[in-house]
Amino acid sequence: MAAGHIILLPRQDYYKWVRAVQKYALHFGVGITPDPQKVADQQVATVIAPPNGYPKEGDILLWLKMRYPNILIDYIFCDSQFKLVEMLDARIRRGKPYGKLIGMDNQPGALPLYRKDRLYLFWPTDYGTILQPFGANQELYMQYGLPGHEGVDIRAPHGANVYACADGEVYLVENRHDQHNYGVHVRIRHSTGYRTIYAHLERALVRVGEQVKARQLIGRADSTGNSSGNHLHLTLKKDGATERGETDYPLDIIDPTPFLVYKHQEAEVFEALGMRPVGSRLEAYPWSWPCLVGLNSRLGGTMQEIDFEVLQQARIEAVTIYRHTSKETIQRVRAVDPSIFLLARMNLDFRGIVLTGRQWAERMYPDFTRLSDLGIQYFEIQHMPNLQQNGWRTIWNSGEAFGAWWEEATGVVREQFPQARFGFPGVLPGGQIPGLRMDGGIFMDGADQAMMKADWLGVNCFWNSEGMMDSPEFGRGYLRLRERYPHKLIFITEFANINPYTNPNVKGREYRKYLESLRNQPGIGAAFAQVVSAARGYDALVWRNESGLVNRIAEEVGNRGG
């Protein structure tokens, strides 16, 4: 294989693209992958980019450079395998594996990452989640003469801010709810023939003829017009695109996805283009400390003296306790560090009983009272509720049902303890396992309304390798929660490398790196590792065994910076 060179192909029709690049890959000894994260350790990535070839990532060029800024990208825009074969055959004849490279560090022959002659659509809401992509659900939109969804639906709860995607002039404002399928909406004309439409608004905050800047507030979100729920519908048009055959859609509608600049990319794109963002989007979270280094207390029994020594050695700043944790144990934890933060996990074993939210709250009342009297104010309600053993399929069958149960339970407790802060619990990530676990993502989708009302949100982040630790699918799972709930305080209630074959020395180094990276992440209150010790099981996760032997994780975490 050529040193540090890999080909990235679209996931859709992957093996067709593989056949198209096979001769080139064999000639130059280049690897092939459909996974953008696999380019992380490469020097050069040849990226095959048909229109909307990477719907999950959006603009794949921007996506790669934001995550892997040191990689040089050989970008090939090509809409068919036949054209690609011709292009790569020409490279074989020339004996050169790639043409001009795109990079950010101005190597000779490198092109700028952000061209000033193209359109950039800055994210139009504070919520970084796409609910319905462009082109989706063809069977629903054919009645309107459309090949599929004619825009992008972006998460925006009722009353949420809606921003202009780019500089331009407002040329239409519809203020009536019932005059158009888009309901209340705003249309803006941009340079080089592009136009954007912002639909299903509660109200518009701009007038026809007004000049607006990228990221300027132009409206509030709602569900007016032909809409079944609160969100922002964004449509992009380019004058003459239909007539020129640039799109399969009528009315000059084109896919906005390749033009979108995600929130984490904004600052760099503004700087590269010499633009100044309008206003400020600094988040104000109800938390005054940096992300605390946390550890879950002993499972299946009372903490022992060696556990407190582990807390001290690792310089632990936050600890989870349980509803039965004694006053003496809490006092001993505070003796290690008087300023230590304590979070209480309020779980009830549901085996053999079925309780409404109110009944649960009434049964738990003595524990809330005792812990509140000891100064505990942060409570997680029923951990991992998408597991069968924790109430799924016995008390609730869906995220919606659990959300309603959670709201009832916390509503009762909040009346008695108004100073308390109640968290929506972390679910166990992963897909559906019949009879054991409901898909974590689907469960949270259903519980959305309860999560919006929670004082804070829990998330669990697990991985099997250091590469997975840095993935938003695994170790960085909190990033998806942040995109969906940008204003919420988040606690990583459990994190761990769960691979039983990973040496504790390696795990310790991973945990130190992980915690250091979280230190100044805004809105992350604490990250709690799993687990100081356990009366039984959890051999791959404990920081000390039942013989009292402390492994290297505590020492590594204690040697962290900051």
Over residues 290-310, the pLDDT tens digits come to: 999 999 999 999 999 999 999
- CB distance 291 to 528 below 8 Å: no
Q: What is the pLDDT of residue 220?
A: 94
Q: What is the pLDDT of residue 165?
A: 94
Rounded Cα distance between 371 and 365, Å, is 10
Q: What is the CA radius of gyration of the chain?
A: 26
Q: What is the pLDDT of residue 283?
A: 59
Half-sphere exposure of 528 (CA within 13 A, CB side): 28
- Whole-angstrom CA distances from 455 to 181, 377, 440 are 36, 11, 20
Rounded Cα distance between 190 and 172, Å, is 13
Rounded Cα distance between 317 and 336, Å, is 10
Q: What is the pLDDT of residue 339?
A: 92
The tokens of 348 are what? 């009830």
Cβ neighbours of residue 557 under 8 Å, at least 6 residues apart?
293, 314, 315, 316, 508, 511, 512, 515, 529
Q: What is the pLDDT of residue 24?
A: 87
- CB distance 152 to 132 below 8 Å: yes
Q: Do domains 121-273 and 292-558 have the same CATH topology?
A: no
Ordered per-residue pLDDT tens for the chain, 562 residues: 345 788 999 988 888 898 888 888 877 878 888 888 888 878 889 999 988 888 888 888 888 877 887 788 888 988 888 889 889 988 888 888 887 788 755 455 555 556 677 788 999 998 888 888 888 888 888 888 888 899 999 999 998 999 999 999 999 999 998 889 999 999 999 988 999 999 999 999 999 999 999 999 999 999 999 888 899 999 999 999 999 888 889 999 988 887 888 776 777 788 777 877 775 454 567 888 899 999 999 999 999 999 999 999 999 999 999 999 999 999 999 999 999 999 999 999 888 889 999 999 999 999 999 999 999 999 999 999 999 999 999 999 999 999 999 999 999 999 999 999 999 999 999 899 999 999 999 999 899 999 999 999 999 999 998 888 988 889 999 988 988 888 899 999 999 999 999 999 999 999 999 999 999 888 999 999 999 999 999 999 999 999 999 999 999 999 998 6
Q: What is the pLDDT of residue 53?
A: 87
CATH of range 121-273; options 3.30.450.20, 2.30.110.10, 3.90.1260.10, 2.70.70.10: 2.70.70.10
Half-sphere exposure of 535 (CA within 13 A, CB side): 6
* E strand or H helix that includes residue 367: helix 357-373
Q: What is the pLDDT of residue 107?
A: 53
- CB distance 539 to 552 below 8 Å: no
Rounded Cα distance between 421 and 231, Å, is 28
Rounded Cα distance between 81 and 83, Å, is 6
Q: Is 2.60.40 the CATH number for 5-111?
A: no
Give CATH for domain 292-558: 3.20.20.80
Over residues 424-471, the pLDDT tens digits come to: 999 999 899 999 999 999 999 899 999 999 999 999 999 998 888 988
- CB distance 525 to 489 below 8 Å: yes
Helix (H, G, I), strand (E, B) or coil at 227: coil
Q: Where are the domains of the chain?
A: 5-111, 121-273, 292-558
Cβ neighbours of residue 82 under 8 Å, at least 6 residues apart?
20
